Every structure is written in structure tokens, then in C-alpha cells.
Amino acid sequence: MHTIEFMDKYYKKHSVTERIIKEDNTMWIPFFLMYLFALLFVVSLCRLQCKDIMSSNFETAQNPQASRCPNCMVVKRPDIQHCDECEACIEGYDHHCGVVGMCIGDVNFKYFTQVIVYSGLQ
């Protein structure tokens, strides 16, 4: 029983979170910001992963003579490039990111930038 009482007193005396909460100071601000940026990072990463970036093939019926990608048969516009790693054509192709495991293009570039910024702010 004495061990539990000792541990309880020791924890209360040396607990960082209790001192941050009880004392009237601004030590909670960095912790709050760290958790806020971590939450924003996770939300941005989820939005990046859930965004469909493959070029749609809706122009095929409208313009059958248009040039097509030889690999995936999507109508090629000047802003569409084929990614050899994803085996898909991407609108506004920027690069294939190995960290997130997908291509970065016009559709998801905003979320990719947010992921980079929030991970740097943590």
C-alpha cells in the first residue's frame, strides 16, 4: 500500500501536465499548437489520399479523332501526362511522390502542400 501512495505523491509532484494546467502560465500554448498541427496534418493527408486524380475519359465520345495516351487510352490534352509508376494519366502532373505513394497533380496539389507545411510545423 505504501508503494501506491508513494507513486501517487511522486506523480502529482513531478507531473508535467499537472504543472502546466495548474500554474498560471502559457506553457500550454506550444502543446496546443503541436496537437493542432498534428490534427491538420492528418486531415490533409486523408484528403490527399482520398482525392481521385486520374483523368476522366469523358472526352472520348465527343472527339474520337483526338490524340490518346498509348498506355491507358485517355484523350491527351496538353496538361495531361502519363505516370509510369501509377499507370495512369494525371491532369496537371507535377510528380510521383514516393512518400504518399501517389501522383501529385492539379487536383491534389493543394492538399500535398498542406501536408508538407503541417509536417514541417510539428
Read off the pTM.
Answer: 0.65
C-alpha cell at 114: 498542406
The position carrying cell 505523491 is 9
67 and 87 belong to one structural domain: yes
* Structure confidence at residue 6 (pLDDT): 61
Give the domain range for residue 12: 1-51+109-122
57 and 42 belong to one structural domain: no
C-alpha cell at 81: 501526362
C-alpha cell at 5: 501512495
Q: 100-120 burial, b if ≥16 CB within 10 A, otherwise e?
A: eebbbbebbeebbebbeebee
Rounded to whole angstroms, the Cα distance separating 25 from 75 reads 61
46 and 59 belong to one structural domain: no
Q: pLDDT averaged over consecutive 10-residue blocks of the chain (122 residues)? A: 61 59 69 89 88 60 71 82 88 89 89 90 76
* Structure confidence at residue 22 (pLDDT): 60
92 and 80 belong to one structural domain: yes
Count of structural domains, the chain: 2
Largest distance between two CA atoms of the chain = 86
